[in-house]
Amino acid sequence: MWPAPPQIGFAGGALDRAAHLRDRAAAERLRDAVDSKVVLVGKGQEVATAGEGGGLALVPTSALPADAELTFLGLDTGGTAVFAYDAAAGAPATGQIFEFVPLRSLAGELTPAEAALAAYAVPLIGWHRVTRFCGRCGNATEVEAAGHRRRCPVCGLVQFPRTDPAITMLVQSGDRCVLSRRVGVVEGRWSALAGFVEPGETPEAAVVREAREETGVEVVAVEYVTSQPWPFPQALMIGFWAFVDTAAAGVKLTPDPAELLTARWWWRDELERAVRDGTVSPPPSGTIGNYLITTWLAGDTM
C-alpha cells in the first residue's frame, strides 16, 4: 500500500534522497550552503530535540567543525540539504538548547516528516558506528558516497547501510484472529505475531514459518498489507494478513515458551469489548501492529 496509511509512523517522509548528489563535490557544495541543516543523533538511538514539544532540532551545518563527518540524507520539500551527524560525544555549541531523547519515546510527538527523518538518520548513524572497521580484514574503513557506503582501503570490502526485513501478521479465519503476549511485554498488551525474515527466505515464507513456530498454526494464504520503517535498530517491518483454513480456526495453539507468554484465538466482538474496557491493550498507535488489529476489528480485512 503506497503511500503508507497515515496511521503508520515513520513512513511519512517527503524527503528527496537525491542519491545523484552523493558524490564528494556535490555533498561538499551542499554542506557549505547557508541553509543546510543537520539532524543530531546522540548516544544509542537518541535524537536532539528543541526541548519539550519543540520537535526535532536541526542545526546549521556551519555550527559543526569543518572536518565533522556528515551523512547526506537528501533535500527537503523546500530544496534544503539535510545531513545527519553522530553527536554521541556531545552537541555542537550553537547557543541552541538541545535535549537528546530516545527516538522510541518520541514517536508520537514528532510530525510525520520529522519522524521519517529521524527514522532515516538514527539507523544510518548506528550503522556507521559498527562499521568503522572492516569485517573481513579488521582495518579502518573509509566513508564514501556522502555517508552511504564504507570501503576498506586494504582489502576493498564495500559495506552498505543495512536494513533487516521483519514480518508481522494478523493470523485470522473469518471472525477470529490470533493475538499473543510476547515475553517481557507490559500488562494487558496483546499483539499480532512477528519475527525476522531469515537468509534465503521470502517474507511470505517467513510468515508461514513464524506462525507455525510460535503457535503451531498452519497458514494457507498470505496477503501483503503495508510496511513500516522500524528503526529499532534497523528493521523494515512488513505487515500481512495470514489466513488459516476454517477447520483450523479456534484450534488450541501451542505458544513457543521462548518467545510467547501465551497466544489464543479471539472472536472479533470479544476482542472489540476487551479493547474497549481496557483488558486488552493493542500495540501503541503509529505501529503497524496497531494498524493491523484496528483495521481487522473494523472489518476492513481485504
Using rule CB under 5 A, residue 41 touches Zn ion: no
Return the C-alpha cell found at 271.
Answer: 476482542
Q: Which is nearer to Zn ion, 155 or 298 (CB)?
A: 155
Length of the chain measured in residues: 302
Among 143, 157, 185, 251, binds Zn ion (CB under 5 A): 157
Burial 255-291 (b: 16+ CB within 10 A, else e): bbeebbeebbbbebeebeebbeeeebebbeebbbbbb
Task: Give the chain's largest Cα–Cα span.
Answer: 66
Among 298, 292, 68, smallest CA distance to 191 is for: 292
Which segment (41-49, 149-157, 176-184, 260-268) binds Zn ion by CB under 5 A? Answer: 149-157
Q: How many residues bind Zn ion (CB under 5 A)?
A: 7
CB of 179 to Zn ion, least distance (A): 46
Using rule CB under 5 A, residue 261 touches Zn ion: no
Among 73, 107, 117, 152, binds Zn ion (CB under 5 A): 152
Phi/psi at 256 (nearest 5 deg)?
-75, 115
Contacts 24+ apart (CB under 8 A), 16-23: 16/74, 16/75, 16/76, 17/73, 17/74, 18/72, 18/74, 18/75, 19/148, 21/72, 21/75, 21/81, 21/146, 22/72, 22/145, 22/146, 22/147, 22/148, 23/145, 23/146
Q: Which is nearer to Zn ion, 11 or 145 (CB)?
A: 145
CB of 135 to Zn ion, least distance (A): 8
Among 14, 155, 221, 298, binds Zn ion (CB under 5 A): 155
Among 142, 20, 3, smallest CA distance to 81 is for: 20
Among 172, 161, 302, smallest CA distance to 242 is for: 172
Which segment (106-114, 126-134, 263-271, 279-287) binds Zn ion by CB under 5 A? Answer: 126-134
Which segment (87-95, 129-137, 195-203, 229-237) binds Zn ion by CB under 5 A? Answer: 129-137
Among 29, 136, 273, 276, binds Zn ion (CB under 5 A): 136
Which segment (11-19, 124-132, 136-144, 171-179) binds Zn ion by CB under 5 A? Answer: 136-144
CB of 152 to Zn ion, least distance (A): 3
CB of 68 to Zn ion, least distance (A): 25
Q: Which is nearer to Zn ion, 157 or 248 (CB)?
A: 157
Using rule CB under 5 A, residue 159 touches Zn ion: no
Q: Which residues form the interface with Zn ion (CB under 5 A)?
A: 134, 136-137, 152, 154-155, 157
